[in-house]
Structure 1
Amino acid sequence: MSCGQNEPFALQVLGDSMEPEFVEGHIIIIEPDGAFKNGSYVFALYQDEYIFRQLVIDNERYFLKPLNDNYPTLEIETLDPVKGVITQRAGTRRREHKHYV
């Protein structure tokens, strides 16, 4: 059985670009049809690579911002690269579980 294009799916966080909120090994749930807004955590396609960042909307300009300052903030022309919104985070301990709206 395969997942539909609009079905939620889970991915494991790799790397440290979204620390301290999301550390390597956390599991994130992505909702392809989820509503996003300024400040949402999103899954996006940027230069043929899928990335996980925080969406920043500023005066009709769109940015994909890492939480770790060692990585650059990326400007995107439209919201088309955004492929889903992160709705949950899970870690190895219950206290690491969190929901996002």
Structure 2
Amino acid sequence: MTESRIEQIKALIAEDPRDAMLRFALGNEYYSLGQYAEAIEPLKAALAIDPEYAFVYIQLASAYEKAGQVALARQTVEAGRGPAARNGDPNLMRQLNEIAARLPG
């Protein structure tokens, strides 16, 4: 996961700005580099394109948590519960619950 990978994904986004998976991929690259604040905007953009993309809520909530934005992490967990339940994968809900349990307050 290098800066060149980020540039490659950005170039693909420029070609297809409505691709939620590319937005998620960009956010995930930033996240994997420990650049949590930078990960937030592309992850939010992925959800703006596809609000049912359940796994993005997990990554976004975790990015908010690691960036010290606890209230936004909590809001994202709650917003992700519906899409996670509709997805039918119990691991998605489990991951949201794990994030919620880690959040202070």
Query: When you count strand as a share of all residues, which structure comes out higher?
Result: 1
Q: Which has the higher contact order (CA 8 A, sep 6+)?
A: 1
TM interval, shorter chain, is under 0.3
Structure in which a larger fraction of residues adopt helix = 2
> If the length of structure 1 is used for normalisation, what is the TM-score?
0.25
Q: TM-score, normalised by structure 2?
A: 0.24
